[in-house]
């Protein structure tokens, strides 16, 4: 995703770190970069809001249960696969438009 505007931190980089940001696992500099980007980029801010809502819903529904380690590993692995597929697809779509 990109809003078409230049940002210090690119949209795809910010969106790749949204869950890390939501979980409070970014260092202070990383948090500042994400916050600054979200302040100036409406599409990323909307995506952030969606991810935040999903995280809250999952937390509310599953807060008392912990996923088994193998399930957690499978889910995280699949998320990484999908992110890689999206990135590859996005790069392939823009490679001919230089």
Contact 34, 17 (CB under 8 A): yes
Distances (CA, A) of 16 to 22, 61, 68, 71, 77: 12, 24, 24, 21, 14
pLDDT at 90 over 80: no
Structure tokens at 37: 């980007």
pLDDT, tens only, 49-89: 888 888 888 878 776 777 789 998 999 999 989 888 877 77
pLDDT, tens only, 15-40: 888 888 888 898 988 889 999 989 98
pTM recorded for the entire structure: 0.56
Contact 38, 29 (CB under 8 A): no
Task: Identify the sign of the CA torsion 87, 31, 49, 18.
Answer: positive
């Amino acid at each position: 995703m990109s809003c078409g505007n230049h940002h210090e931190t690119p949209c795809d980089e910010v969106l790749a770190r949204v869950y890390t940001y939501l979980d409070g696992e970014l260092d202070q500099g990383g948090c500042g970069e994400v916050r600054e980007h979200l302040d100036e980029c409406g599409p990323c801010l909307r995506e952030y809001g969606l991810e935040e809502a999903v995280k809250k819903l999952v937390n509310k529904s599953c807060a008392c249960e912990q996923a088994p380690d193998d399930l957690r590993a499978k889910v995280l692995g699949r998320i990484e696969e999908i992110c890689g597929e999206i990135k590859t697809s996005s790069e392939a779509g823009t490679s001919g438009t230089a």
